[in-house]
Chain A
């Protein structure tokens, strides 16, 4: 029975929504699924983890208590847990946190790792991921004692598979090494990270300035969405780089992506082409984004977006 681990990412006492899809991807015929939790709240997550098929929840801590955020100690603790429980594979998210932790584990174990996977076959040890800014998809074979997969958030649809989970405590004998986390500066962080957002509304050059992003934020609020941007909007200093979608920004795959006044350059597409549904709002019906979207509205975003916000408000309030 293959034992497969899943690195469970949490935020403020909640399992990140994108985790359910990752757990779904890790399931397979007679896989025994281990959910590794590091924030000290394993018991709180039992109901949700077992609903998606986790059989054993491993509460990973240090001998003196929960491990505070330090990607280096977290990686060493998880690598030890993988050995302790005989996990032959580990799944995680290709999120900001996953990008810090998964490659460190792979480096410690000298194990193969594929980040940003779109699909994984645990039995065959193959996985698909985008290459060359999303222009091609590569199929890879992983060879090694432990295989690590970082899934692109939201690409696998989450399907419940209820089971009964048992909690194991695991005290990893790790102490802080050469890498010290001195402080966390979270004041700048706003809401859900773009890479994990289920809905994104983005603005490009057409926004004209930073203040105008307010109309996107208003729409985002109604949708429970995050706000993104093209590089032009970032380079102009209208919004921070953490909001940039694209090849030199973030790769996102929300179920709904609304591009407002974004032309659809290859570099922008590189970051959002695997989105579920793409909506384009653009004055130019011939813009690339308008031709490679699912639904397009040819119009001025300053007119269209406020109407969309108003209608969504009305529609979401009635059902």
Chain B
């Protein structure tokens, strides 16, 4: 049986896109969407692992609207062998997401390892990998900066505060949340993109998955534009004088030093 590597990838608005709030909780989606940046590190690590293991398969999984298929294509252009698309309407919270990821993965095969990103840049939940690990009853590490597999033991370095790291050892299967320092994601070239178009994607309606009845939820009730009331005050004059004025303002007006 091939070694099964699953990678959870999320379809998110490009960080440079303008976000327009349509009604209380929805945004205008005619903007550029991308694969969540940290999920690129997850795919990269999975693809590198596949070549080390040999007989292994990389499966990208996404939960999202029909358009999220684009993100599966990106993952496959980077090297994933195939994709699973759990199709939803409104985005589920991370509790339901983790349950759906678990159900979709287990319906497909027995994972040896699961990669995720360390966080998603749209909802910024910072929790799906831990919930997925707990749901599967397997250990999880996040913000992983280095990864090594020996036999069925994974050793990772997880980033701690101020550049420190914890060296963590876990048996397979486990969940690994990729950080930016883990690797440098490859940039797919045209032939990779063409090849990705022919790779298989299985589409699964969210409703068809058995995710039980979550005992808890987090519900978005309102989105508001971030308002920044700063009034930029450019301090004129020769540098020496300007700095003097800045120090005075920081002390007396802003009272922050």
Query: Contact residues of A with B, CB < 8 Å?
Result: 11, 69, 71-72, 94-97, 99-100, 103-104, 106-108, 110-116, 126, 129-145, 150, 177-186, 188-196, 199, 223, 240-244, 247-249, 255-256, 266-267, 270, 273, 276-280, 285, 290-299, 303-304, 307-308, 311-312, 315-316
Contacts and interface: CB of A to CB of B under 8 A. Distances in A.
A244 B226 CA distance: 22
A99 B251 CA distance: 34
Contacts of B180: 241, 244, 248-249
Contacts of B94: 113
Contacts of B239: 297, 299, 303-304, 307
Nearest to A69: B166
Interface in B89-134: 93-95, 98, 121-127, 130-131, 133-134
B161 A196 contact: yes
B167 A189 contact: no
B53 interface: no
B224 A139 contact: yes
- Grouping DSSP codes into helix (H, G, I), strand (E, B) and loop, the B interface class, with mixed when no group exceeds half, is mixed
Interface string B1-29: 00000000000010110110100000100
Interface of B: 13, 15-16, 18-19, 21, 27, 37-38, 93-95, 98, 121-127, 130-131, 133-135, 138-143, 155, 157-171, 174, 180-181, 214-226, 228, 230-235, 239-240, 242-244, 246-247, 249-251, 254, 256-257
B249 A295 contact: yes
Contacts of A315: 247, 251
A142 B215 CA distance: 11
A178 B170 contact: yes
Given A292-B228, A292-B230, A97 B223 contact: no
Contacts of A112: 93, 95, 216-218
